[in-house]
Amino acid sequence: MTTKMTKRQFLQSIGAAAGVAAVYRSMNALGLVGANTAQAATLDLSPGSGGGKSVVILGAGISGLVAAYELSKADYDCTILEATNRAGGRNLTARGGDIIREEDSRQWVGFDPEEHLYANLGPARLPHHHTTILGYCKEFGVDLEVFTNDNRAAFFHNLEGFDGKPVVARQVMTDTRGYLAELLAKAVHRTALDDVLAGEDKERLLDLLRSYGDLDVADDLYTGSDRGGYQGEQVHAGLAPGEVNDPLDFSQLLSSDFWEYKLHFSQFLDQNPTLLQPVGGMDAIVDAFEERLEHLTRYRSIVKEIRKTADGVRIVYRRRRRRGLSILDADFAICTIPAPVLKDISNDFSADTQAAIESIEFSNAVKIGFQARRRFWEEDHGIYGVISWTDQDITQIWYPPYGYQRAKGIIMGAYIWDDEPGLRYAAMSPAERLQTAIAEGEALHPGYEAEIEAGVSRAWAKVRFQRGGWPTSYQAPARLREPDGAIYFAGDQLSALPGWQEGAALAAHAAVRAINERVTATA
Amino acid sequence: MTTKMTKRQFLQSIGAAAGVAAVYRSMNALGLVGANTAQAATLDLSPGSGGGKSVVILGAGISGLVAAYELSKADYDCTILEATNRAGGRNLTARGGDIIREEDSRQWVGFDPEEHLYANLGPARLPHHHTTILGYCKEFGVDLEVFTNDNRAAFFHNLEGFDGKPVVARQVMTDTRGYLAELLAKAVHRTALDDVLAGEDKERLLDLLRSYGDLDVADDLYTGSDRGGYQGEQVHAGLAPGEVNDPLDFSQLLSSDFWEYKLHFSQFLDQNPTLLQPVGGMDAIVDAFEERLEHLTRYRSIVKEIRKTADGVRIVYRRRRRRGLSILDADFAICTIPAPVLKDISNDFSADTQAAIESIEFSNAVKIGFQARRRFWEEDHGIYGVISWTDQDITQIWYPPYGYQRAKGIIMGAYIWDDEPGLRYAAMSPAERLQTAIAEGEALHPGYEAEIEAGVSRAWAKVRFQRGGWPTSYQAPARLREPDGAIYFAGDQLSALPGWQEGAALAAHAAVRAINERVTATA
């Protein structure tokens, strides 16, 4: 029993014979379920509380996987129906040899077969406060490493400002702080704020500003700082300090769009350091769930109808390579199908449920991964990890926050979420997308095209069973937090964390908890 | 030839028979020297330019190792004299079972024997712009991972401010920005800065401030922000956003010492993200050099005299377990011995050389590593990686930026560099240091003591052949940049990057270049 297939087959045989709670206990005995659950990831439903009640889960994305995992542990009889041939949903990691399908295209991924040559085309970050999804990582023993998000060596680029030349982040940040501190110090000296600065606060504020902005001691002016780096190829002081960089022009800093959010991106709660990622690709999380739930999953099973029955739900679905339609009856359903897909599936939903589903709009997120023949961002610019910014459609370039100093690397040549540029890229053929993204990238990295040897794109709006990246609103419709008959709703679309796996997991927990309360109340 | 010892013995045998350039060529053939040198780490001296000239290198710290490595490649006949039984100098990683020696103490390290349970008691960070030392990592295939340095979940703690309670970094940073933006916006509205804000800059500055500080749209006031996190145990928005944290009191923020440098620590050039570290401990760099230079190194060889001779240098040293003194004559010497040690060694230096050496003062750096029985910082606080700050002597607590979510962890319970607290801790016995650091840590982590199961301290001022952490001045004495006869000086003490391995490597390069120019000019 040393190979994965053997273990899997073993678990499937138990599942068939004795139900999923038995499988879970067996996995526990096999050491597949981590012992350390100090971080509250699971719901801790009472063992056996499901009493064999059946739940059909629509969609094997993170929300569906979490729901099935938790319900199975509590002795619910779960079946997952998944339209595609894989679990994970938008959690998708592309590697050499993969086929990436959209409605009207198929891309073969031409990356080299190396461990560090992959692209997370869906979620890529795990914020440190997303304790639910991090808790599953811990429970399953998914190794984590840091996702860099604030990289002072990366570039800010604006077609209009600074002659269209990329500017190093450390200079933008240092100089903006310096100028703000200088202006505020000036206002304080001019006694413009005396009425709102009590007693000693005035002197203390000046001390803070001198330190915050690195102002000149003599006159509280900002004239540049070694925090912005030294002139020449060598950024640091070296053997004997040289000249620090001249400060950027304040008017140009103001008229660039850097300040819009790029300047303080890591101030956003979800982008706060520390961010983490699974070693080897985000789909390590999917793999961990799938290993535990594969025996419950029917792949290539496309839901055609969602019906309420007298004592539960009926799902009509089409299974690939089977003639006609299949039917699955269950006591409950948890529907994680993305709203843009769900709204077109035949159903018995109440009018307000259907309206709520139709009210959810999804973003046109696009990601493009390129394999570069050398890690020019590290070698030439000392850029280790994410992000450079531009006001072109590609929005961002991500340098891989893994595989540092290896021979090649996968950069994210575009990460688009705004509607219009997203639509523009979605409308292109895969080949056009790569070409266009390379042309835009040239503005940040002259000679870019010559460094690229393979590419793959993902326009989530054009993915058959997704039709978008994530809900554009942070307010999920309240109606969908309640079941419609025996049908419960989940997915990140039900949370205030759209596009985050944490939101998907929390929505799954909410649905599971609601079902379990109903079952245990009537038991 | 599959074991390390065999390879090592093989190289030693070549070294004895055919000189070090032959060893280097053999290592190249064995694949021990990395092929990728795109990042300019090495000096690229012309092969054979040393012509067998002899160089004695005093000290097997990073500077000595770099010098010996570069000289050997160019056919210089190098010998390294190292006072201790190991290479690395201040690059020291403590693991379970190690003995940590100081002048009047020996500590046995009681950490568990796990790969992720180590403490870098010397340097721990590699800034992304330290291209020389990073270049060696690349050349030697030393795997790198990110060193987190800016952690918004960590604590700021001040005995006086905020009732002595630790405050989460994200709140300190968010609220400080908010208040500064509000004050500056107010000054702008009051037309106090009209003369220095040209035309459209005024409106643009207000736009920037609203975004920078997350000001209320209606009145440009700061009343808190979701960037500071939500109330309750769940930091983020979850299923439905709750209440954001109340902003901290501005007067208390001003009267705390947070603003002194803690608030913008990652703005400092050397602390700029991205920072890196070798996987498995900083001494991976030492190991890589040592593997290549061991056959040139005489360990436990304490330099007693440094003499100028008619045609070079004479080093008199005492070798452990040998009677009397040993003598080594060479064409040149590179002396990397730390100034506080070097100044007391008998020598022929000119008066100004000796005065320059005596002018260098070293810091009293102290580090304390603790093994914790569980990763309470991650489990209880979502703190993944470095740093919490306090105004107590321990100065910082570092949570390990590696081994995330594993069973146990090594935290740095103190990282002290200021003179007075450093001296206080250096004067204590190892047991007292641990006890005192734990007591101080309790202010940040109530119940701290119960989490700790082993500890080790390093007071660099009390280390026999170091006598300090690093030079307190960023201006190395110019006199030591020139040789005194055939004696050249190196070490980070010769650079404007004191305490950084990059400075040590650059100083080594400078000495090597100077010797090589002298040799090739006269050849």
What CA–CA distance (Å, rounded) separates A12 from B439? 53
What CA–CA distance (Å, rounded) separates B490 from B468? 16
8 Å CB contact between B176 and B253: yes
What CA–CA distance (Å, rounded) separates B24 from B78? 12
Which residues sit opposite A244 in a β-bridge?
A230
In a mutational test of the B interface, the residue from A116, A136, A160, A239 whose CB has the highest number of chain B CBs within 10 Å is A239
Q: CB contact, 8 Å: B203 with chain A?
A: no
Q: Indicate the pLDDT class of residue B517, thresholds 50, 70 and 90.
A: very high
What residue in A sits closest to B473 (Cα-Cα)?
A240
Query: Average pLDDT for residues B183-195, to the nearest whole number?
Result: 97
pLDDT digits 0-9 by tens, B36-60: 333 345 688 999 999 999 999 999 9
**Residue in A208, A239, A378 nearest the CB of B496:** A239
What CA–CA distance (Å, rounded) separates B293 from B64? 10
Query: Average pLDDT for residues B246-252, to the nearest whole number?
Result: 95
Alpha-helical runs (H) found in B262-328: 283-293
* Helix-then-strand count for chain A, H and E: 15, 23
Query: What is the pLDDT tens value at each position of chain A, 523 positions in all?
Result: 333 334 444 334 444 444 444 444 444 343 333 333 333 456 889 999 999 999 999 999 999 999 999 999 999 999 999 999 999 999 999 999 999 999 999 999 999 999 999 999 999 999 999 999 999 999 999 999 999 999 999 999 999 889 999 999 999 999 999 999 999 999 999 999 999 998 899 999 999 999 999 999 899 999 999 999 999 888 999 998 889 999 999 999 998 888 888 888 999 999 999 999 999 999 999 999 999 999 999 999 999 999 999 999 999 999 988 889 999 999 999 999 999 999 999 999 999 999 999 999 999 999 999 999 999 999 999 999 999 999 999 999 999 999 999 999 999 999 999 999 999 999 999 999 999 999 999 999 999 999 999 999 999 999 999 999 999 998 999 999 999 999 999 999 999 999 999 999 999 999 999 999 999 997 6
Q: Indicate the pLDDT class of residue B4, thresholds 50, 70 and 90.
A: very low
Which chain B positions have a beta carbon within 8 Å of A264's beta carbon? 177, 211-212
What CA–CA distance (Å, rounded) separates B339 from A73? 65
Which chain A positions have a beta carbon within 8 Å of B250's beta carbon? 201
| pLDDT value for B232 | 85
AA letter at B485: G
CB contact under 8 A, B196 and A204: no
- Omega into B309 within 30° of 0, i.e. cis? no
In a mutational test of the B interface, the residue from A129, A176, A197 whose CB has the highest number of chain B CBs within 10 Å is A129
Query: Average pLDDT for residues B204-221, to the nearest whole number?
Result: 95
Angstrom CA distances, A205 to A155, A174, B261, stand at: 31, 19, 14
How would you label B204-239 residue by residue, b for 16+ Cβ within 10 Å and e otherwise?
bbbebbbbbbbbeeeebebebbbbbbbeeebbbbbb
| pLDDT value for A42 | 62
Task: Report pTM.
Answer: 0.91
In a mutational test of the A interface, the residue from B196, B373, B405, B482 whose CB has the highest number of chain A CBs within 10 Å is B405
Angstrom CA distances, A339 to A102, A319, A342, A472, A477, stand at: 18, 21, 5, 12, 11
Tokens of A284: 């390590």
8 Å CB contact between B415 and B422: no
Residue % of chain B over a pLDDT of 90: 86
| pLDDT value for B242 | 86
| pLDDT value for A24 | 41
* Residue partners of A471: CB distance under 8 A and separation at least 6: A339, A360, A361, A362, A363, A492, A493, A498, A499
Question: Which range has the worst mean pLDDT, A154-163, A219-228, B257-266, B361-370?
Answer: B257-266
Query: Average pLDDT for residues B316-336, to the nearest whole number?
Result: 95
Q: CB contact, 8 Å: A152 with chain B?
A: yes
CB contact under 8 A, B495 and A196: no
Average model confidence (pLDDT) across chain B: 92
**Residue in A144, A237, A384 nearest the CB of B474:** A237
In a mutational test of the B interface, the residue from A131, A272, A492 whose CB has the highest number of chain B CBs within 10 Å is A272
ipTM of the complex: 0.90
Which chain A positions have a beta carbon within 8 Å of B200's beta carbon? 255
Which chain A positions have a beta carbon within 8 Å of B143's beta carbon? 404
| pLDDT value for A259 | 84
A 121-150 near B (Cβ less than 8 A) = 127-131, 134, 137-138, 143-146, 148, 150
Q: Indicate the pLDDT class of residue B23, thresholds 50, 70 and 90.
A: very low
Q: Indicate the pLDDT class of residue B21, thresholds 50, 70 and 90.
A: very low
| pLDDT value for A21 | 46
AA letter at A67: A
State the nearest Cα–Cα gap between B117 and chain A, in angstroms. Answer: 16
Which chain A positions have a beta carbon within 8 Å of B192's beta carbon? 186-187, 190, 192-193
CB contact under 8 A, B274 and A151: yes
| pLDDT value for A5 | 37
8 Å CB contact between B155 and B444: yes
What CA–CA distance (Å, rounded) separates A362 from B113? 50
| pLDDT value for B22 | 46
Tokens of B204: 């643009």
Tokens of A395: 């929005």
What CA–CA distance (Å, rounded) separates B116 from B403? 5
Which chain B positions have a beta carbon within 8 Å of A190's beta carbon? 192
8 Å CB contact between A365 and A463: no
**Residue in B127, B274, B382 nearest the CB of A128:** B382
